Structure 1
């Protein structure tokens, strides 16, 4: 029986929009983590069967199969192929799922999965605007004039009865947890510094409910969603080396974790952000694990209502939900976030001796991936 294991995982520090990483081409950002991954593991790039790469806004500098551009920019052999996938915010997590499936099926022996997004270089909303990506027949089907993630976040907050105070309290906690983790060195073993950036750039130490209270709602005049309880616009990349246990043993690699279960599902595209709830339920059912067996959860902080609504449904303890903070504190480089979160998760599992971890992400169009990792 073939399996799929993660040998190692690495990421760039996450850069603020128009910050330290803005001047770096996304192909070169991709090359940076590919090179770092090879260096950390002693990987000979010539044996890589495929690179599966996530990227959402595939236009301009991110068009033309940016995964392949990254392979070439890294100086890897020309016979190493790459493909770029788009499942919106879950693109890099889907890349992991595709790479794992290829390894398990025997199509690959060694694969790289990851992703990139340079949000400093793209027009915001170009692929996920109010109406353009959705045809008139889709808008007619759902009886709406537009589909918008910010409005979806407002709908989630209303449906689950989440107040602005609760959202801001959660957001301040995200910054506090990230600061605590950074000060404890929790990220040092996973980062590939670049352009002088050695830590996630978006962290705002000392964030509080009071400091967030002055921010104006972003999507509704009387709404509860604002810049401080939403994910930051960011640049970054991450990469994971995926193979079988047998191949790892033959090549002298000691894997970090096994990819235990991976699923994807769709949900209401109007509210859009609730997909992690059915995706988590599907992953648990397919894995045979109970929610209480999972020791750490990464639920992407696209907006504060997303993890809070998810938590209300599953009743998990505060301390195991996004234990290192999340995208509200450090940013959400769309096509790279799935790999960045998984890098954070797998290193946290190793550092804390956590057997099972679960990652899930909401995605535009009302979809979500969920992946369960098992520590090795």
Structure 2
């Protein structure tokens, strides 16, 4: 890797295990999960906590969490009270956009060290009711913020799954193709888990159950073989005649993923291990109904900026919001499927929406180190019609 002092690099990428909806992490708010991940990073890096200048965290479902969950995460981890912290909401791209914001901050002020990533507790998404304008007569309706703010396209006012049903129909992606893709994601993730592939990237999370302290150490969304055998029995989730089910779409989950961002000079001056440098960034917009395939445009743009071709890539992490859209992206990009989501993707591992963009980067950075891979790309589709892509070099 050719690198100079001003290059922006990533260090100590960490994530929590990914919890099921109302699973092992459900009793913790997003900031409580994140604080523990930050503590693990600070311990591993041996960096003094007063050296952190910013905390930037993606978060989508912030109702009821209190003011500025990023700041709460920082204070919960013992960082100084004068720390600068803020949240980013770009839906499924939030965690990756937070890292991009860290990158952009360093372009303006290269002397800073930043913690950036994403956080989400979908289990704790609230129901809201607007009583600010007094209701004198009649019923009032609660709004499920998980569905309204996290899973529904606010542009077209339809569930995200219906946008991908549109794509599956347009590109002739069958139910069988989607179920096979999903099964492969789970098989890869289960094997990676059995082989302890995720051990270095996971921060153990302390949880209290029945007044007893336990350590949550492993992703719990991955299906076992018996469950996989029933994929073709699941009913369509969004349309009676549709092909998308709970089995070939990503899950509803809880997690946090964070890393250090700095210039190469600051990393070396502080003894930080460098996992890779940010080579190129792309953010694109698209038709909201085709958001699922927007990673095609973001990935193509990022590769062009990096001066790379698809054949130059050693590893790819493409967030699996839905099997149908992931299949289309793979086919249109014509990249080697053997290097895509090698340890399973979000269909198997889970999709905590504010954290997933950072999670895929954490996983890719660790796998690049294991393989001594030189060039990687991660990309994520975003509700409302957008996508992000990052090229990483090491």
| Same fold, TM-score > 0.5, yes or no | yes
CA distance in 1, matches of 2:29, 2:273: 32
CA distance in 2, matches of 1:207, 1:342: 30
Q: CA deviation at 1:89?
A: 0.3
Answer whether contact 2:110 2:262 (CA < 8 A) is retained.
no
CA distance in 2, matches of 1:318, 1:236: 27
Aligned to 2:129: none
Aligned to 1:309: 328
Could you report, residue by residue, the CA deviation over 1:318-339 in whole angstroms, capped at 9, with x for unpaired residues? Answer: 2111111011111111101111
CA distance in 1, matches of 2:152, 2:26: 26
Aligned to 2:92: 89
Could you report, residue by residue, the CA deviation over 1:33-64 in whole angstroms, capped at 9, with x for unpaired residues? Answer: 11111011011121111111100112112x42
- RMSD between aligned residues: 1.5
Aligned to 2:134: none
Aligned to 1:67: 70
Query: What is the SS of the residue equivalent to 2:289?
Result: coil
Q: CA deviation at 1:159?
A: 1.9
Deviates more, 1:188-197 or 1:233-242: 188-197
Query: What is the SS of the residue equivalent to 1:237?
Result: strand
Equivalent residues in 2 for 1:1-376 (5 A)?
2-61=6-65, 63-106=66-109, 108-122=111-125, 123-128=145-150, 130=152, 133-134=154-155, 146-194=157-205, 195=207, 196-206=215-225, 210-375=229-394
CA distance in 2, matches of 1:216, 1:231: 15
CA distance in 2, matches of 1:40, 1:209: 37
Structure 1 consecutive aligned stretches of length 4 or more whose deviation exceeds 4 Å? 128-131, 207-210
Answer whether contact 1:3 1:103 (CA < 8 A) is retained.
no
Q: CA deviation at 1:104?
A: 2.9
Answer whether contact 1:176 1:207 (CA < 8 A) is retained.
no
CA distance in 2, matches of 1:130, 1:71: 30
The number of residue pairs the alignment matches comes to 363
CA distance in 2, matches of 1:78, 1:339: 25
Q: 1:280/1:27 Cα in 2 relative to 1: closer, same or farther (>3 Å)?
A: same
CA distance in 1, matches of 2:273, 2:24: 34
CA distance in 2, matches of 1:44, 1:9: 17
Deviates more, 1:344-353 or 1:157-166: 157-166
Answer whether contact 2:6 2:110 (CA < 8 A) is retained.
no
CA distance in 1, matches of 2:20, 2:151: 22
Q: 1:28/1:130 Cα in 2 relative to 1: closer, same or farther (>3 Å)?
A: closer
Answer whether contact 1:148 1:270 (CA < 8 A) is retained.
no
Q: 1:260/1:130 Cα in 2 relative to 1: closer, same or farther (>3 Å)?
A: closer
CA distance in 2, matches of 1:21, 1:312: 36
CA distance in 1, matches of 2:330, 2:347: 17
Q: 1:318/1:129 Cα in 2 relative to 1: closer, same or farther (>3 Å)?
A: closer
CA distance in 1, matches of 2:21, 2:50: 34
The TM-score with structure 1 as length reference comes to 0.93
Q: CA deviation at 1:147?
A: 3.3
CA distance in 2, matches of 1:184, 1:148: 36
Q: CA deviation at 1:209?
A: 6.5
Stretches of structure 2 that go unaligned for 5 or more consecutive residues are 126-144, 208-214
Q: 1:207/1:308 Cα in 2 relative to 1: closer, same or farther (>3 Å)?
A: farther
Could you report, residue by residue, the CA deviation over 1:259-313 in whole angstroms, capped at 9, with x for unpaired residues? Answer: 1111111011123222111101110111110010111111111110122111111
Aligned to 1:142: none
Deviates more, 1:14-23 or 1:315-324: 315-324
The TM-score with structure 2 as length reference comes to 0.89
Which protein is bigger by CA-based radius of gyration?
A: 2
Q: CA deviation at 1:208?
A: 7.3
